[in-house]
Amino acid sequence: MTAARLAWRALLLTLAVAATGLAVLVATPSAPAQAADLSDFDPGNIISDSVFYDEDTMTAAQVQSFLNTKGAACTGSSTSFCLKSYRQTTADKPADSRCTGAYTGRSSETAATIIAKVAQACGINPQVLLVTLQKEQGLVTSTTGKTAATYRKAMGFGCPDTAPCDAQYYGFFNQVYRAGWQFNNYRINANSYSHRAGMTNNVRFHPNAGCGTSPVYIRNQATAGLYNYTPYQPNRAALAAGYGTGDSCSAYGNRNFWNYFTDWFGSTNQRPPVGRIDAVATSAGQITVSGWTFDPDVDDSLRVHVYVDGKVVKGATADLTRTDVARAYGVGDAHGYRVTVPATDGRRTVCVYAMDANSGPTNPKIGCKTVTVTNTRPTGALDAVTNAGGLVTVKGWALDPDTSASIRVHVYVDGKVVKGISASTTRNDISRRFGLGAQHGFSTTVTPGTGAHQVCAYAIDATGGGSRKIGCKTVTVTNAAPKGRIDTLRAEPGAMVVSGWTFDPDTTASIRVHVYVDGRIYQSALASRPRPDIGRVYGKGDEHGFALTIPAATGRHEVCVYGINAIPGKNTSLGCRTTDVTNAAPVGDLSGSVEGTTLRADGWVLDPDADVPLTARMRVNGSVVASTTASTPRAGVGAPFGQSDERGFSFDLAGAVVGDHTVCIDAADASTRAFTQVRCTTLTVNGLPTGRLDTAVASEGRIKVTGWAADPNTPDPIRVHVYVDGRSTKGVTADLVRKDGRWGFNTSFPVAAGPHTVCVYAIDVQGERNPSIGCRDVTVG
């Protein structure tokens, strides 16, 4: 980032500071003009990482200006030197992992230049270096200057509390550079030091171990680094003393660091956003405000809130390109904003607030301006309000002199808004009159119901200003009720067919009918079937007939039909009729079989009332598992009913579990589509026995076998057969109780000497198949 990045911080550098800081255990005798509030001191978060490692907060010129201000009263001598005028020849320092920027040495560099260059080389905030010089040796605010002996240990680096300073780190430049280098070493090798971020540390109050410790959860690396540099926290007495002296167990280094930083540069944890309003422009009913803002703690674009007369009206992201801001402050160029907000006529004060990226305590106001907003109200006319069969047509035009765009029109009936439309139809006469284009006409319809009504139209301001009534008219609405009748209602198997006609005298369009069955609405349909007879009689067109099929259960039913008014109004009853519906249930047959674990269902179904294939479904243990159209040939099944023989079905269900299964076939009625159970049967899936031959051992002319066997079709013991060399030798019941809960067997039998193959078979209780449960080769001596 450029050196100009934080010119705004120059304001912070004008604060008058008169304090003198001493070493870590020495209190300073006087405080700055505006002392920090130590009640805000957090031992676990003395300074944030984002602030501590921000090397771009000050340029060398800004550091020099700061030293000039803070050391304005300093007068040196031949043996004491003021920091503002201190100079030293510096050496080259190559970049390394701690200070990743190279330091190029120069002859007679100022202290300000050294501080700024070390900050850039080591990535440390120059404000941190200034505060450390102050809290260690009081160099910044000294009025009489400091001796060469003090400058050689300026940062207190290599100067433990219990031993003399290490001479290899002597020298102002060496001290500043090594301190910056060491702060990064703490970060890179965090686990090598006593105080670590992200954990609770017992931090001492004083070099005297008798003063004790207290647990501190260190929240970030910057704070951990301060404790590794100066390993003490202030006790209550030190905090209560401000910049002064506490008690014999007080240490002041980290307290004074926080005090000086806060007084000189502001918060150690987050800095407020900065920015400005560049321009405010007005147009009809609106204000456009533009400018820029950024948060020095982050690189991201910020949100801004725009207020008008003290009320927030809009939020936006300040992410427009501002290369001038990038050049001036080195914060990237996506920090501009341009926001347009609505505003009513008159003098208005617009203010912009920047939203702190880290949810800081304040979202600063970055500017306010007062402007005058003007707005020409819309104009127009309500040309006509006419009624046609209950449908009221509203016509006219409307425009806003502040824009050529079409505007909205609201239509009111009897004082209540009923419709909003765009005045965007072509009106060339309006274009010639106002010169704002032709798309300003409107035409719409409303349905207010019968009787006299007042219809008004309002033109809506394009920019949120006041609307204008452009006319009102009174209209009397008449609405003729539909005409029609039921011609026929006849019963069919499982259904009824109702037919007739209806129309609305106010229109030639087809209207809808509502059909009720036994007092409940069943269907809404359009009466649009050709009825030339109705067209000839009434002169309203032919498309007004209806013929509807209604599925119905067996029994007597009442059917009522209503003609529905084309315009909301009275609906006409076309009459009610009753009829008796009969419906024979589907019939059929089922045969079932089992192959392994597959259930098979074969059969046929038909509806005696309809010569059509039915939908058949298979249920197993109450659950539907498959469905199909029963249309495969089944010889002779249709003839008794006068139907085709193509009424068969076949289902297979694989993977059935062992045991009994209830298999049912349902058929869907041809007219009602309701399913009826036709046949059920029980099918049994047989599970084969299981088991194991555990041992087969020869002893004294006999073979002894042990193991277990079970049949999933029964909880009782089953038989096992023992074969020797392929011949049945012995049968035994596996009825011994084993620890594993299985039925065991243990038997022996005599055999001739020599090698033999022993196999054991579990006997299936269903008599289907007897599986082998094991074989062993045994030699009898």
Q: Tell me which of 686 and 219 has the higher pLDDT.
A: 219
Report CA 735 to chain centroid distance, whole Å: 64
| 418-425: average pLDDT | 97
How many C-beta atoms surround the C-beta of residue 469 within 10 A? 13
With cut-offs at 50, 70 and 90, classify the pLDDT of residue 495. Answer: confident
Instruction: Report which of 341, 328, 339 is spatially closest to residue 294, judged by C-alpha positions.
Output: 328
Q: How many CA atoms within 13 Å lie on the side-chain side of 526?
A: 6
CB 751 within 8 A of CB 670: no
Tokens of 45: 């978060």
According to the model, what pLDDT value does residue 23 have? 32
Using one digit for the tens of pLDDT, what is the confidence trace for 267-292?
898 778 999 999 999 987 889 999 99
> Do the bridges between strand 659-668 and strand 615-620 make them parallel or antiparallel, or are there none, so unpaired?
antiparallel
- At 26 the pLDDT is 35
Which tens digit of pLDDT belongs to each residue from 679-700? Answer: 999 998 888 899 999 999 999 9
Domains of the chain: 38-265 (no CATH), 274-373 (2.60.40.10), 379-477 (2.60.40.10), 483-581 (2.60.40.10), 587-685 (2.60.40.10), 690-780 (2.60.40.10)
Looking at this protein, which amino acid is placed at residue 48? S
Nearest to 275 by CA among 157, 366, 188: 366
Give the residue among 357, 317, 276 at the shortest CA–CA distance from 50.
Answer: 357
Six token digits for residue 663: 């298999």
Q: What are phi and psi of 277, to 5 degrees?
A: -90, 125
pLDDT over 70 (residue 600): yes
| pTM exceeding the 0.85 threshold for the entire prediction | no
Mean pLDDT, rounded, for 499-515: 95
What's the CA gap between 312 and 305, in Å, rounded?
A: 7
Cα distances (Å, whole numbers) of residue 407 to 366, 374, 399, 467: 35, 18, 6, 11
Q: Which amino acid is at 466?
A: G
**Scanning the structure block, which residue is given the tokens 């000189």?**
264
The pLDDT-based confidence of 35 (bands split at 50, 70, 90) is low
Q: What is the pLDDT of residues 539-571, one digit of tens each?
A: 999 999 999 999 888 899 999 999 999 887 789
pLDDT value of position 671 = 81
Q: Enumerate the β-bridge partners of residue 312.
A: 307
Mean pLDDT of the chain: 91
User: Which two tokens mark 731?
Assistant: 């049968």
313 pLDDT exceeds 80? Answer: yes
Mean pLDDT score, 170-181:
97
